[in-house]
């Protein structure tokens, strides 16, 4: 195998999650949705300086990567957080931190062994 394909796919997937979180508007939408309740688009637009349509686009981006889900309720579209993708990348970042410590310890051991 020229390149670990599963790892590449994971990288692509995680990048889409990070990318979805990489916008202040979307990140504050996520924050608003932490309460576990469902919120309509209009509700999520209040206290915001941008238009409902812009918020709608951001919500679609979050929905496309699975960070939120939506259901129609009458004339409203209700959005709820789904933390699974967030947990996924959270664990990934935790692993990086662990790997980092391991790498530093290995370097330290190497240096001490050869001093």
Partner DNA sequence: CCAATACGCAACCAAATTGTTGCCTATTGC
Partner DNA sequence: GCAATAGGCAACAATTTGGTTGCGTATTGG
Q: Cα(67)–Cα(30) distance, rounded to whole angstroms?
A: 8
86: helix, strand or coil: helix
Does position 21 interact with a second copy (CB under 8 A)? The reply is yes
| Cα distances (angstroms) measured from residue 36 to each of 27, 32, 33, 77 | 15, 9, 6, 16
Considering CB distances under 5 to 8 angstroms, the limit depending on partner class, which of DNA, a second copy, none binds residue 46?
A: none
Within residues 22-61, the interface with DNA by CB under 7 A covers: 22-23, 25, 40-43, 49-54, 56-58, 61
Q: Which does 100 bind (CB under 5 to 8 A by kind): a second copy, DNA, none?
A: a second copy
Q: How many chain residues interact with DNA (CB under 7 A)?
A: 24
Radius of gyration of the chain (CA): 20
Q: Residue 44 Cβ, how far from a second copy at the closest point, in Å?
A: 15
């Amino acid at each position: 195998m020229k390149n670990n394909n599963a790892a590449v796919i994971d990288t692509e997937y995680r990048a889409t999650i990070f990318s979805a979180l990489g916008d202040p508007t979307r990140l504050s939408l996520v924050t608003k949705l932490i309460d576990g309740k469902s919120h309509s688009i209009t509700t999520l637009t209040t206290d915001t300086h941008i238009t409902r349509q812009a918020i709608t686009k951001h919500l679609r981006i979050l929905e496309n990567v699975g960070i939120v889900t939506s259901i129609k309720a009458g004339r409203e579209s209700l959005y709820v957080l789904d933390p699974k993708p967030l947990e996924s990348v959270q664990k990934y970042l935790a692993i990086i931190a662990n790997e980092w410590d391991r790498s530093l310890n290995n370097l330290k051991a190497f240096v001490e062994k050869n001093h």
